């Protein structure tokens, strides 16, 4: 049962949310992205296929980041053909054929029309599979570019297979551009950053609830549901990932997903949970003391993790790579005596996906967004500590996107006290 503190908030303070949905990015945004890719193809024809997954009984579909970044379309079975040497149809979008019976279950789909082409910002929209168009347009090109990113799957992607078959059929040269979309997506423009910053602001509202609700006697699931309600009430369009709420020894499990333990006095609660807004992700972790104060041993570990964050942030400058920063994180925790308890990378790229694409070895471009999340996990001691923030690379260094959420030990304790007062 919820204690009076939470029960009062859940009942007396209930209010129906009235979130503002994220406005769709305009067709001109996707058109400009495709023009950059067309130019980078150096005259080669290319094809990309939707690779998302449909899950659940209603077959909810989530488009893969590459196809979504180029089209803004969340629909399975689609293809994009890029033909830079075509006189008129440089960009052709293929959608799956209509099925009137299926549409009674999933909703009606629009007929092909000039208006549909204008809405998507492409030269032409067709239905079906693009083999015939590729064969005819390929005659006017000297090469075929494989832009599908490499996968670890045993079977090759269908778009890469189409590219190879086209090159063999017409005797064209194959050009491998598998890193092209990764490099383009790694740097975020103003529209993308605005969505990510909105996702972070929504996430901050949820963590304010977490600071208040991580009290003795509630379950990890209680905290999760309180947070997630706050996300959606503040305008979230989804969760960036399943919420992780790990109290006591559960906080020493990196991806704890049961969220079943009842919080006890003296526990630390590691909460890795964030909102998504307009398909763009946030990623934030905070560690909360159930008693309102860190014990001396917990404080020692927390300060080491915080110092590792500070050392990483101080090392961010033009020309730095993720690999460079990983070394900084490891050296910081080595000095503190906790390197063996730091069991993951210091961070990852964030964008359309919470673990987004990016090159970990090369210097990061201006506009890259990534997390800074050192952690120490001590199962034998019954607790873990992780602090996770997001930064964007600037021409002078970085900007902390999650600065509104307290992270210094004294500030976290004051935040918890204020939230529970």
Question: What's the confidence (pLDDT) of residue 12?
Answer: 40
**Tens digit of pLDDT per residue, the chain (421 long)?**
444 444 444 434 556 666 677 878 999 999 999 999 999 999 999 999 999 888 777 778 999 999 999 999 999 999 999 999 999 999 999 999 988 888 788 888 888 999 999 999 999 999 999 999 999 999 999 999 999 998 766 567 999 999 999 999 999 999 999 999 999 999 999 999 999 999 999 999 999 999 999 999 999 999 999 999 999 999 999 999 999 999 999 999 999 999 999 999 999 999 999 999 999 999 999 999 999 999 999 999 999 999 999 999 999 999 999 999 999 999 999 999 999 999 999 999 999 999 999 999 999 999 999 999 999 999 999 999 999 999 999 999 999 999 999 999 999 999 999 999 9
Question: What's the confidence (pLDDT) of residue 5?
Answer: 46
Query: Which tokens belong to 112?
Result: 């092909």
In sequence order, which ranges of 100-189 are alpha helices (DSSP H)?
100-106, 114-120, 131-138, 158-170, 180-186
Closest CA to 219 of 186, 245, 240: 245
- The pTM of this model reads 0.93
108-124 burial, b at 16+ Cβ within 10 Å, e below that, comes to ebeeeeeeebeebbbeb
Question: What's the confidence (pLDDT) of residue 17?
Answer: 64
Closest CA to 47 of 151, 134, 143: 134
Closest CA to 388 of 280, 313, 279, 277: 313
Closest CA to 240 of 252, 248, 230, 228: 228
Ordered strands of the 280-281 beta sheet = 238-239, 275-277, 280-281
**Which residues have C-beta within 8 Å of that of residue 224, sequence separation ≥ 6?**
243, 245, 259, 273
The Cα 374–Cα 328 span in angstroms is 11
Question: What's the confidence (pLDDT) of residue 351?
Answer: 98
Chain centre distance of CA 87: 37
Residues in the chain: 421
Task: Bin 403: left if φ > 0, else alpha if -120 < ψ < 50, else beta.
Answer: alpha
Closest CA to 342 of 329, 325, 328, 361: 329
Closest CA to 353 of 66, 146, 56, 82: 66
* Sign of the four-CA dihedral 340, 346, 352, 358: negative
Residue written as token pair 């706050």? 230
The DSSP code sequence of 324-371 is HHHHHHHHHHHHHT-GGG--S-S--B-SSSSS----SSSPPPTT-EEE
Domains of the chain plus CATH, in order, are 27-185 (3.40.350.10), 187-420 (3.90.230.10)
State how beta strands 91-95 and 124-127 pair: parallel
């Amino acid at each position: 049962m919820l204690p009076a503190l939470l029960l009062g908030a859940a009942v007396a303070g209930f209010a129906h949310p009235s979130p503002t949905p994220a406005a769709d990015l305009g067709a001109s945004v996707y058109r400009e992205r495709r023009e950059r890719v067309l130019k980078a193809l150096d005259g080669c024809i290319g094809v990309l296929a939707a690779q998302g997954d449909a899950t659940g009984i209603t077959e909810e579909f989530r488009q893969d980041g590459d196809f979504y970044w180029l089209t803004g379309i969340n629909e399975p079975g689609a293809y994009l053909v890029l033909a830079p040497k075509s006189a008129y149809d440089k960009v052709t979008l293929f959608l799956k054929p209509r099925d009137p019976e299926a549409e009674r279950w999933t909703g009606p789909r629009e007929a092909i029309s000039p208006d549909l082409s204008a809405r998507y910002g492409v030269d032409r929209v067709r239905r079906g599979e693009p083999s015939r168009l590729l064969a005819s347009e390929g005659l006017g090109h000297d090469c075929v570019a494989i832009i599908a990113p490499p996968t670890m799957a045993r079977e090759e992607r269908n778009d890469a297979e189409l590219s190879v078959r086209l090159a063999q059929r017409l005797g064209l040269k194959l050009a491998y551009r598998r890193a092209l979309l990764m490099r383009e997506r790694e740097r975020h423009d103003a529209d993308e950053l605005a969505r990510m910053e909105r996702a972070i602001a929504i996430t901050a509202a949820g963590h304010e609830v977490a600071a208040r609700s991580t009290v003795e006697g509630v379950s990890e699931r209680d905290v999760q549901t309180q947070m997630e309600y706050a996300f959606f009430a503040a305008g979230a369009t989804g969760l960036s990932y399943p919420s992780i709420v790990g109290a006591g020894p559960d906080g020493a499990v990196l991806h704890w997903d049961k969220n079943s333990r009842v919080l006890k006095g003296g526990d630390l609660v590691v909460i890795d949970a964030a909102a998504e807004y307009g398909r763009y992700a946030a990623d934030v972790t905070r560690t909360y003391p159930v008693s309102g104060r860190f014990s001396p041993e917990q404080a020692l570990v927390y300060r080491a993790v915080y110092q590792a964050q500070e050392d990483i942030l101080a090392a961010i400058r033009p020309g730095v790579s993720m690999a460079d920063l990983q070394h900084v994180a490891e050296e910081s925790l080595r000095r503190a005596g906790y390197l063996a308890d730091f069991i993951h990378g210091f961070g990852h790229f964030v964008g359309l996906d919470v673990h987004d694409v990016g090159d970990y070895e090369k210097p990061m471009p201006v506009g890259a967004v990534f997390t800074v999340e050192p952690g120490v996990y001590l199962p034998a001691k019954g607790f873990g500590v992780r602090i996770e923030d997001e930064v964007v690379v600037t021409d002078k260094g970085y900007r902390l996107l999650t600065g509104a959420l307290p992270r210094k030990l004294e500030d976290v304790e004051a935040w918890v006290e204020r939230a529970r007062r």
